[in-house]
């Protein structure tokens, strides 16, 4: 039985295949890149796509949708193998391990599977056109981003988190005055803010208390801190962190 599952088949009947609803969104840029690679050196025979045969006899593409579209557009044969035991868990695990999927891909899948927190987070991402990392940073969500990379983690972005994100997004956007918002700056904003909002006195207190360790905790923290300090026209020395309020 195993040998049958591993058998590689070949066809040019593209209508036999359909995309899996649980897979990530198709990237046109990735398809274009694959076309160039395939024309340069066809690797598809040694890298067949994986399909699930449904009750109607159709082949649902579990892994390799971009390769399929590239070959179809180039009118080349489709090499495939059937694996009817392929699961959604396997889809997520393999794509994360091979770094094919990002956080938003996993969240969109979880949303399709009925996770209300994922749907809520995706909605905020799309409405404000920002990344998942920015949303979670500004939402004060206490769940690590790593915990999102499992379809079993369902409670991490509550309605309260969404309201917090929207409030902080508005404040930070006003502060940035056209400067691009990044995940690092978003984390820095949350870390350097007090309960009443961003305040240079809070930054100075943190700097006086923790010294260089405060700014060197991580590269992201350092980048965020310096960016925010510059926006407020404060100064930061190279060796020892100091925050000075500019007097006009």
- What's the average pLDDT block by block, 10 residues per block, for the chain (248 residues)? 64 95 89 92 90 91 94 95 88 70 81 87 94 87 52 72 92 80 79 56 59 49 56 42 35
Enumerate the domain spans of the chain. 2-95, 102-176, 183-231
Cut 0.85: pTM above it: no
Q: How many residues does the chain have?
A: 248
Tokens (6 digits) for 75: 């009118």
Contacts of 45 (CB under 8 A, 6+ apart): 8, 79
CA dihedral of residues 174, 176, 179, 181 (deg, nearest 10): -90
Q: What is the pLDDT of residues 120-159, one digit of tens each?
A: 999 999 999 999 889 988 987 655 445 545 545 566 788 9
Q: Is 237 exposed, middle or buried (0-12, 13-18, 19+ CB in 10 A)?
A: exposed
Domain over 2-95 is classified CATH 1.10.287.3510 = no
**β pairing state of 193-194 and 197-198:** antiparallel
* Tokens encoding 9: 């088949």
**Number of neighbours of residue 222 by Cβ within 10 angstroms:** 17
Tokens of 115: 């996770």
CB neighbours of residue 232 within 10 Å: 14
| Bridge partners for 17 per DSSP | 59
Predicted confidence at residue 130, as pLDDT, reads 94
Contact 215, 184 (CB under 8 A): no
């Amino acid at each position: 039985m195993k040998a049958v599952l591993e058998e590689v088949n070949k066809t040019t009947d593209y209508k036999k295949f359909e995309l899996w609803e649980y897979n990530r969104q198709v990237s046109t840029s990735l398809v274009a890149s694959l076309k160039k690679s395939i024309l340069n050196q066809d690797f598809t025979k040694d890298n067949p796509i994986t399909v699930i045969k449904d009750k109607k006899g159709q082949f649902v593409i579990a892994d390799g949708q971009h390769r399929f579209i590239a070959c179809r557009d180039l009118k080349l044969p489709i090499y495939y193998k059937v694996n009817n035991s392929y699961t959604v868990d396997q889809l997520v695990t393999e794509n994360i391990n091979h770094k094919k999927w990002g956080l938003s891909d996993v969240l969109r899948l979880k949303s399709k599977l009925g996770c209300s927190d994922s749907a809520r987070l995706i909605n905020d991402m799309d409405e404000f056109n920002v990344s998942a990392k920015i949303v979670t940073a500004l939402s004060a969500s206490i769940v690590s981003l790593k915990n999102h990379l499992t379809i079993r983690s369902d409670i991490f972005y509550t309605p309260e988190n969404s309201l917090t994100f929207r409030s902080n997004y508005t404040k930070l956007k006003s502060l940035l005055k056209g400067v691009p918002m990044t995940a690092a700056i978003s984390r820095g904003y949350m870390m350097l803010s007090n309960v009443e909002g961003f305040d240079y006195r809070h930054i100075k207190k943190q700097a006086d208390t923790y010294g260089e360790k405060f700014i060197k905790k991580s590269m992201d923290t350092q980048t965020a801190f310096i960016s925010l300090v510059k926006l407020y026209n404060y100064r930061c020395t190279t060796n020892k962190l100091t925050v000075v309020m500019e007097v006009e």
